[in-house]
Amino acid sequence: MTPHRLENHCESVSLLHYKSQRKEFEVHLICLRLRDFRNYKKLDIELRPGFHLLTGNNAQGKTNFLEAIYLLASLKSFRGVGGAHMIQHGQSGLFVGGSLQSTEIHQVQYYWSSRQRKLSVDGNPVRHVTEYLGRFPMVVFCSEDLLLVRGASRIRRRYLDFLLAQTDRLYLPLLQRYSRTLRARNALLKRPGSDPDILNSFTRELITAGEQLVCHRRKLAPRISVLARLAHRRISDRAEELKIEYSSSIKEDFETELARTAAREKILGYTLIGPHRDELKFFLDEHAAADFGSEGQKRTIAIALKMAQAEYLSGVCDTAPILLIDDVMGELDEKRRAGFLPLLNRVRRAGSQVFMTCTEDNWPSELSEYMLKWQVNDGHLVEAS
Ligand SMILES: Nc1ncnc2c1ncn2[C@@H]1O[C@H](COP(=O)(O)OP(=O)(O)OP(=O)(O)O)[C@@H](O)[C@H]1O
Ligand SMILES: [Mg+2]
């Protein structure tokens, strides 16, 4: 497919999805049930829409609580660990369940053990995660976000992929198709004397899926760039402009460039170009933030990226995502917190939820008017007056 036709194809597919998803609805968690999840032996809790502030001393279960909510929506931890880490020490499996309001109210149940994984919605087993993911838009702000700026490029690709998967149901299967083909192709490249016809067929498949991935990412990047720049202006105490640039490893034509690298690929035993090598670059006044930015500047970019994610989801899904904010508010001074407040208020007004954790000495008191306060103590939550 020529780049122009491919572009049109992606546009029409995305547009169809966009239109079919355009319904106004509120997303929030009505209740949460945990069994043997980290330091929560048993928790049954009802939750209203709006702001929820979780305070408590260190190591009481504040982050674990956010992680459980995230697990329910995304089926994974935002701490980048597998299910085994989240099972309570000494137990064989964990359970996370809840009632979630989206277009309708749904009962979700998720059981995870090393032997078994069971997900059901309204009592019906979900066979493919792609049917489930993206139903409950959610954005998490946590200390690991700093890796978006100073970590490996795969973390930035994951940021784009996560956002595309949440807003376009065709994206995740496409990404899985590309990753499977890439693995198979790399295995062939490593094996001496492998059949060139088989390698060719994997190359064709890689090109088809890869071109579509790049097309989706190319469309998303400038939109995120604008939203992140605006967010950055609001929370930055300095005058620099944030610029985000999507840099694909494919410069012109995937097929031609793969043909050009074929000899080197055989020597090295892996695919040298493709969306798996793409990069997202951040600049502050034209200087690469990863190389020249201070810790504080990198942290501000990371928060701006997450704010952009929330704004983008709000725009595309016609609903405000649930926000999980782990210890981030406490890090911001008053001015920068003020830049964060419009987003939080919009989420609250849209009938969604914000869950924020902090310790007693750094909680954002300017939000107290609407706040529901919970005291977290050794795996228990008590509503604080
Ligand atoms: N799999 C597990 N089984 C049992 N306990 C666990 C498990 N994983 C973590 N914990 C414990 O859960 C406790 C609470 O952890 P969490 O990260 O939620 O603390 P926190 O309240 O966010 O603290 P901080 O203010 O320091 O961030 C810790 O004591 C930790 O050791
Ligand atoms: Mg914590």
pLDDT digits (tens, 9 = 90+) for 38-91: 999 999 999 999 999 999 999 999 999 999 999 999 999 999 899 999 999 999
Contact call for residues 75 and 129 (beta carbons, < 8 A): yes
Is the minimum distance from the CB of 38 to ligand 1 under 6 angstroms? Answer: yes
Task: Please tell me whether residues 241 and 160 are part of one structural domain.
Answer: yes
Is the minimum distance from the CB of 90 to ligand 1 under 6 angstroms? Answer: no
Task: Please tell me whether residues 116 and 219 are part of one structural domain.
Answer: no
Is the minimum distance from the CB of 39 to ligand 1 under 6 angstroms? Answer: yes
User: Per-residue confidence at 12, pLDDT binned at 50, 70, 90?
Assistant: very low
Whether residue 22 has pLDDT greater than 80: no
Q: What pLDDT sits at residue 18?
A: 38
Can you tell me whether residue 40 is helix, strand or coil? strand
Has residue 300 been placed in a domain? no
Task: Please tell me whether residues 133 and 197 are part of one structural domain.
Answer: no
Ligand 1: residue whose CA is nearest its atom 17: 63
Q: What is the pLDDT of residues 130-188, one digit of tens each?
A: 888 888 889 999 989 999 999 999 999 999 999 999 889 899 999 999 999 999 999 99
User: Per-residue confidence at 237, pLDDT binned at 50, 70, 90?
Assistant: confident
Can you tell me whether residue 82 is helix, strand or coil? coil
Q: 110 vs 122, 129, 241, CA distance in Å?
A: 11, 12, 43
Q: 131 vs 136, 212, 373, CA distance in Å?
A: 12, 20, 34
User: Per-residue confidence at 24, pLDDT binned at 50, 70, 90?
Assistant: low
Length of the chain in residues, anyone? 385
Q: What pLDDT sits at residue 109?
A: 98
Q: What pLDDT sits at residue 16?
A: 34
Q: What pLDDT sits at residue 269?
A: 95
Is the minimum distance from the CB of 89 to ligand 1 under 6 angstroms? Answer: yes
CATH number, domain of 15, equals 3.40.50.300
Token readout for 188 is: 């062939």
How far away, in angstroms, is 117 Cα from ligand 1 center? Answer: 23
Task: Please tell me whether residues 158 and 125 are part of one structural domain.
Answer: no
| Sign of the dihedral defined by the CA atoms of residues 151, 157, 158, 163, in that order | positive
b/e burial code for range 305-334 (CB count within 10 A of at least 16 → b)? bbbbbbbbbbebbebbbbbbbbbbbebbee
Q: Which of 62, 356, 381 to mutate to test the pocket of ligand 1 (most atoms within 8 A of CB)?
A: 62
Among 334, 281, 328, 337, smallest CA distance to 144 is for 328
Task: Please tell me whether residues 165 and 220 are part of one structural domain.
Answer: yes
Q: What pLDDT sits at residue 61?
A: 97
Contact call for residues 80 and 152 (beta carbons, < 8 A): no
Segments forming the whole domain that contains residue 281: 152-295+311-316
Task: Please tell me whether residues 106 and 132 are part of one structural domain.
Answer: yes
Task: Please tell me whether residues 106 and 168 are part of one structural domain.
Answer: no
Q: What is the pTM of this model?
A: 0.89
Whether residue 9 has pLDDT greater than 90: no
Task: Please tell me whether residues 362 and 276 are part of one structural domain.
Answer: no
Task: Please tell me whether residues 17 and 127 are part of one structural domain.
Answer: yes
Contact call for residues 93 and 112 (beta carbons, < 8 A): yes
Listed residues 282, 316, 350: the one ending a domain: 316
Ligand 1: residue whose CA is nearest its atom 19: 59
**How many domains, the chain?**
2
Whether residue 359 has pLDDT greater than 90: no
Task: Please tell me whether residues 180 and 288 are part of one structural domain.
Answer: yes
Token readout for 116 is: 């078994």
Beta strands in 211-254 (DSSP E): 242-247
Q: Across residues 17-33, what is the average pLDDT?
A: 69
Q: Which of 34, 53, 64 to mutate to test the pocket of ligand 1 (most atoms within 8 A of CB)?
A: 64
Has residue 129 been placed in a domain? yes
Task: Please tell me whether residues 335 and 265 are part of one structural domain.
Answer: no
Has residue 303 been placed in a domain? no
Has residue 80 been placed in a domain? yes
Task: Please tell me whether residues 339 and 216 are part of one structural domain.
Answer: no
Whether residue 243 has pLDDT greater than 50: yes
Has residue 44 been placed in a domain? yes
